[in-house]
Amino acid sequence: MSIVCFTLCDITRTGFTRKPRNIEEIQLRNQQRNFETFLQLIGMRAQPIEISMPLIQPSEFVEQYKFGGYFMGPVGFTYDVWSFSFESENISAYGNEHNPVGTLIEDFDNVPIITTLTENAKLNQKIYTNGNYCNTYFIYC
């Protein structure tokens, strides 16, 4: 079993970890920082394994996703959507009595994220996993 994360936050895994020297490198580093934030939050409960590279689906119609109402307007909006999956030897650590990904929802909600990278959704410099501004969610499959 694995967990898949869907987000409107730019979590492009660039592998750029050194001190940036110009504007292009700042963006590469910040994209990597966002991905590292996601991995650190996942790693608080259990060690993730088999982590896939984040894939970007450019300009996706979001009706097929479960983002908050703010992003799901009546007219067909398109946003870039990043997704990745991971497994864990202790996958139950990410669940609670109500939801198999319940602790992930709790841990990720309201965590700061770097915005104005390449994402085209208007984000509020935070990861939200609940409510009208939900920009990140998880499915257990």
Domain ranges of the chain: 3-140
CB 111: neighbour CB atoms within 10 A?
15
CA distances, 72 to each of 59, 92, 134 (Å): 14, 30, 10
Q: What is the torsional sign of CA 126, 131, 61, 107?
A: positive
At 131, the pLDDT band (50, 70, 90 cuts) reads very high
What is the pLDDT at residue 60?
A: 76
Torsion of CA 66, 2, 101, 17, to 10 degrees: -80
Kindly tell me if the per-residue pLDDT of 63 is higher than 70.
Answer: yes
125: tokens are 């410099």
Mean pLDDT confidence for 57-86? 87
Which percentage of the chain shows pLDDT scores above 70?
Answer: 97
pLDDT above 70 (res 75): no
For the full predicted model, state whether its pTM sits above 0.85: yes
Enclosing H/E stretch for 31: helix 23-43
pLDDT at 91 over 70: yes
pLDDT at residue 7 in the model: 98
CB-CB contact of 123 with 50 (8 Å): no
